[in-house]
Amino acid sequence: MRTTLTSLFVIITFVANAQFSLQPQVGLENSKTNVKINNLQSFAPLGIQFAPRLALKMDYKFKHTHGPFIAVATSSPVVAVNFTDPQNASNNFYTTKQNLQLRFEGGYQLATKPIYFSKPTTVIVTRTMYGYNYSGNRCGSSSEKVSSDHPGCTHSCQRSCTRTTVKSTTFRKQNLGWFMKIVPTAGIALIPTIKDQVQIKEGAGMNSQTNYQYKAGAWNTAFTTGAGFEFGNNKRSKFVININYLKGIGNMGTRTVENVSNAKSVTTSFKSSASSWNINVGIPISFNKQSSTPVSPCMKSYYQGKCGQYHSSQQ
């Protein structure tokens, strides 16, 4: 039971000091897809591809330093390699344009302490503290009754209070101006809509050819890592420059195509690899809550039980 309460207290403390933010991003992604047929040397059908990148990142930081993140982003299209002779596909092929894909990302990030571009300056910090002093007795004339034991004492009185202000001034050094934080990240990317990598379209007629299409770089799971360079001014973040790397790891196994050549059945194997780099600029939008200080009441009513003894009727 004690362990459960301790764990609950730790979770509540972390959540109370957490910060939720959104980060729209816009940038550019370059990717490279290689294809290997049988045991031949791999080749890149399109070389290096460039594609626009749009993303929305949502993160949840504990104490403004570390925490999980999720994101939705566009992803470079796969490379569709078309051919009619699988054995000679590396020399006789053409590619068709594919659409941008949508991927989901999730992982963890850690932010360093701010690195300021200017030296600390001396600032004057003034703190104002408020207090309440109760003073004076004021009796209501309409309900005034004289006690037989203690003449002159009343049964209904009210005590008022006045607010006092105390100010203190201190001098301390503080970092102001522009700063930078480095935010390393690591996570996983998913594309749940990937279809089969090999498509076969049989030709019609006696002399028609069978057309094949191999979708290279069609990963459905990838490893991502990178770093963000967060810039801000006067302790407020302004923009983030993100540089990320991605490596496809899921759905990247070997695919085979069987066809008949010279009256013999021939099997051709296809395998691909995909990786990409992207750079983008994000604008962080914070949703952390601001705490408010409750205001204490200034007036309290009192009633008099005996002369000289007062009791509070309002807490």
pLDDT tens, 167-183? 667 777 777 789 999 99
| Confidence at residue 175, expressed as pLDDT on a 0 to 100 scale | 75
pTM for the model stands at: 0.70
Q: What percent of the chain has pLDDT over 70?
A: 70
C-alpha span between 139 and 286 (Å, rounded):
54
| Confidence at residue 207, expressed as pLDDT on a 0 to 100 scale | 56
Q: Is the pLDDT of residue 291 over 50?
A: no
> Is 37 in a helix, a strand, or coil?
strand
| 187, β-bridge pairs | 107, 224
- For residue 175, give both structure tokens: 């970092």
- For residue 261, give both structure tokens: 């050549």
Q: CB–CB of 179/116 below 8 Å? A: yes
pLDDT, tens digit (0-9, with 9 covering 90-100), for 112-144: 999 998 887 776 767 766 555 545 554 444 344
| Confidence at residue 111, expressed as pLDDT on a 0 to 100 scale | 93
State the DSSP code for 43.
B
C-alpha span between 220 and 190 (Å, rounded):
6
| Confidence at residue 162, expressed as pLDDT on a 0 to 100 scale | 58
Residue 304 pLDDT grade (very low, low, confident, very high; cuts 50, 70, 90): very low
Mean local confidence (pLDDT), 270-274: 94
| Confidence at residue 161, expressed as pLDDT on a 0 to 100 scale | 56
What is the average pLDDT value for the chain, to the nearest integer?
78
| Confidence at residue 132, expressed as pLDDT on a 0 to 100 scale | 52
For 15-24, 259-268, 271-280, which range has the lowest pLDDT when averaged over its residues?
15-24
Mean local confidence (pLDDT), 71-98: 92
Mean local confidence (pLDDT), 23-48: 94
- For residue 100, give both structure tokens: 């941008």
Q: Is the pLDDT of residue 16 over 70?
A: no
| Confidence at residue 254, expressed as pLDDT on a 0 to 100 scale | 92
Q: How many CB atoms lie within 10 A of CB 73?
A: 22
For 22-31, 35-44, 141-150, 160-169, which range has the lowest pLDDT when averaged over its residues?
141-150
- For residue 23, give both structure tokens: 């980060």
287/192: higher pLDDT: 192
Q: How many CB atoms lie within 10 A of CB 162?
A: 11
